[in-house]
Amino acid sequence: MVLEPGVLDRVVRGHRALLVALEAGETVYGANTAFGGDATGVLEGRHTEGLQLHLARSLDAAVGEVLSPRISRGVVIARAHVLARGNSAVSPEVMKALVRLCRSGVAPVLRASGSLGASGDLVTLAPLPRLLAGDPVPAWVGDDRVTGPEALAAAGVDPSALAGPGLEPVSLSGRDSLALVNGLSGAASVAALAWADSWSLLQWALRGIAATGWALGIRREAWGADLNGRPLRLHPGQAAAAASLRRVLEDSPPVAAPDAGPIQDPYSLRCAPQLLGPVLDGLQVAGGWLEGELDGVSDNPVLMGDPPGFRSGGNFFGGYVAAAADLASGALARLGDLLDRQGFLLVAGDRGLPRNLVVPGSTDVQGLKGVHQTATALAMELQRGAIPAAPFARSAEGHNQDVVSNAMAAAMALSRQVARASMLVAAHTLMAAQAVELRGGSGEALGEWLRQVDAAVGDRSGTAGYSTALDRLSRLCRANP
């Protein structure tokens, strides 16, 4: 991460405007006032000494799940991006320090429980200003956990860093601490990284769903462009999902549909585009909301206008983050429902496939029964995890924050949904791969997919149990764009 030309000048201008306002005796919330519902007027001079560090220390009360080093580094990058806009009036020293942290992979250890998503992620982000100030808070250097001073010393390992071998503690002043914590960089980063994994899972699942349809002899007209696109259907997600399914099968000769039974396929095959379309469209909407949140200014008050002045509003309220995370969590649950239902068809022992997908001639009669039971359990967990977080918001901070967004809870719920969904996609992939192998004669696209599966799993026979295979496949599913 670098400071592009003009960014530091913009930060300097914003900080100078703050200093001018304070010297003129203006009331600037959070710089010469108390905070939240306690901000009733200008504080006496002696009460502003050390105010910013006191704020960070008083807010540092987060508990619960520790965010991963990857997420914590994302938070630092996201906050630096917001403050670089110049609307938060932070000191240039804070801006430089954040860049140093980003370059060196240093980040504070952050916890999820405590953030309300109303005035941003105050409690969750409090260790960040404390780290910059040199307080002995836990911190990540890469994936290693160290103390704050050790982390600052490590923040100079990049020879292109702004100055010196390490990062000196920053003297927090003005509204430095407030600007570092008074935004949604925590919840938005958690949700955005989980969203990226969700999108990868969907793309991989589409290939497994196509493989399942082929192995079960789907009547391909149900996935046709004419049935799923204009002028009959006007939903872009449905058309895109059907096109993705067709691409996987385009060079694979059709498997004959069953001679007996209903003349139409089960809904989990026939209606896949109609189910997957809203999943795809929903994830795209959620991704757009998260991108907008990360690229905007989440802080309060913000410096704006000409001449510049501070304006109070609600841009630290995480309504979009919570809604995006809830939408994506529901989409993953819907995807999981489809995968589980298709699993029933794969192990049922009809439509030309052996019961439990047992290899013919094998003494094993169980086959992938256990894998499908795991898939069903995961589908139920996904359904429970899809309960939206936003409606559970409460009034807080003595009713000063009389509505909150609950954005961090929604983001963390999505992160847990991704973990469940990745294992369910893996289980479905394993069953679909076995079915394709048993059928034989697939085209190049399906064959390449099967080779990727086998390369990840190593052994599909179940000799060593299936847990390791599912772990390996889940990593492949999340990494594949």
Catalytic residues: 29
DSSP structure class, residue 252: S
User: Side chain identity at 479, as an amino acid letter?
Assistant: A
Cα 303 to Cα 314: distance, rounded to the nearest angstrom: 14
Asked whether the beta carbons of 419 and 195 are under 8 A apart, the reply is no
The SS3 call for residue 84 is coil
Residue-by-residue DSSP string for 347-369: HSS-TTS-GGGPPTT-S-S-TTH
Residue 436's nearest CA partner among 230, 209, 133, 195 is 209
Q: Is the CB of residue 28 less than 8 Å from the CB of residue 18?
A: yes
For the beta carbon of residue 21, count every other beta carbon within 10 angstroms: 20
Rounded to 5°, angle at Cα 436 from 236 and 277: 10
Distance, in Å, from the CA atom of 133 to the CA atom of 106, rounded to the nearest integer, reads: 14
Sign for the pseudo-dihedral over CA of 270, 271, 272, 274: positive
Beta strands in 158-312 (DSSP E): 302-304, 309-311
